[in-house]
Amino acid sequence: MSEEARSGMAATGYFAEENSVETVNARMGKDVDPRLAKVMASLVKHLHSFAGEVELTQEEWEFGIAFLTRTGQMCTQERQELILLSDTLGLSMLTDAINNRRPDGATENTVFGPFHVEGGPVRQMGDEICLDGKGESCLFIGRVLDLEGKPIEGAKIDVWSDNAEGYYDVQQPDIQPKWNNRGVFITGSDGEYSFIGIKPVSYPIPDDGPVGEMLAHLGRHPYRPAHMHYMVRAEGFQKLVTHTFVGGDPYLESDTVFGVKKSLVAPFQRVEQGDTLWRSDFDFVLARPDQTR
Ligand code: BEZ
Ligand code: FE
């Protein structure tokens, strides 16, 4: 069909399979915010294209609506099933990549996840964050640097991880001590940080809801490879939200939320003589707001 015929059909305002996108998008008002107009027109175009490509059946459409309804209904203050859906479809990591294009040498971002808690306890360098006495102790140590290799003073490093059984404290408020495996550290003029936690273990994302059902139907496991979460903030630099991953983890190449980047796989070395069983060295390199790719 010619463009002319297509737009003519849209102009009537009547809907037909052949002109569905144009008809819907032609309803948009004239004074709509330009960014909203661009995002919504593209969303309609791709949604219609998807339905046409798979020849969506009525039953599938109904199943999809029921699935999204259940996913929304599962959301509470503690459980965000819709973000989990975005994570497992790779949308969270794609959005993160689009919004954090950094030059070579800067530490890469990865998925934030649902288990961060703002306002964690500020601790002294070298302090222990594991409060339940479980797991294999590990020294986490390194520096926060700028792209020229200079130490950053006053960087706030917020860290969090699961416990030795694979659960965050907020998932087990009646079992784990509050703030277990969490802490905030502030760098001095040397940019150095260090703390004692546990060597993280791999764990399944919450899979007792619609997202877990979806993964099972798709033949996918719900596991994330072992990692330590970091959020590093410093005045005059881009916020860094990242993890370090334990090298050798069996799920590194099949992380259910696609969060692994090669540059974030950190060494975890067994300590022969020392206060901890393991040691992991990792420097964080922050980019300034104008340092993009
Ligand atoms: C996490 O690493 O804490 C996480 C990330 C995405 C979904 C679920 C958990
Ligand atoms: Fe995690």
Which residues fall within 8 angstroms of residue 120, CB to CB, at 6 or more apart? 158, 160, 179, 182, 183, 184
Residue among 2, 35, 6 at smallest CA distance from 18: 6
pLDDT of residue 13: 84
Residue 114 beta carbon below 6 angstroms from any ligand 1 atom: yes
Decide: 81 and 210 in contact? Cβ < 8 Å: yes
Minimum CA distance residue for ligand 1 atom 4:
113
For residues 62-85, average pLDDT: 95
Q: Tell me the ligand closest to 255's alpha carbon.
A: 1
> What are the start-end ranges of the E strands in 105-239?
137-146, 156-160, 182-186, 192-198, 203-204, 223-224, 227-233
- pLDDT bin (cut points 50, 70, 90) of residue 3 is low
Closest atom of ligand 1 to 257 CA is: 6
The edge-to-edge listing of strands for the beta sheet with 182-186 is 182-186, 156-160, 227-233, 240-246, 265-266
Rounded distance between C-alpha atoms, residue 250 and residue 281, angstroms = 21
pLDDT of residue 10: 54
For residues 64-76, average pLDDT: 97
Asked whether residue 117 carries a pLDDT value surpassing 80, the answer given is yes
pLDDT of residue 11: 61
Instruction: Say what the pTM is.
Output: 0.92
For residues 184-198, average pLDDT: 98
Ligand 2 center from residue 161 Cα (angstroms): 6
What is the rounded average pLDDT for all residues in the chain? Answer: 95
One-letter amino acid at 15 equals F
Residue 210 beta carbon below 6 angstroms from any ligand 1 atom: no
pLDDT of residue 159: 98
For residues 70-94, average pLDDT: 95
- Tokens 């109904």 map to which residue? 62
For residues 192-197, average pLDDT: 98
Residue 205 beta carbon below 6 angstroms from any ligand 1 atom: yes
Closest atom of ligand 1 to 168 CA is: 3
Decide: 70 and 210 in contact? Cβ < 8 Å: yes
Per-residue pLDDT tens digits for 123-181: 999 999 999 999 999 999 999 999 999 999 999 999 999 999 999 999 999 999 999 99
- pLDDT bin (cut points 50, 70, 90) of residue 251 is very high
Ligand 2 center from residue 228 Cα (angstroms): 7
pLDDT of residue 293: 86
Per-residue pLDDT tens digits for 13-57: 899 999 999 999 999 999 999 999 999 999 999 999 999 999 999
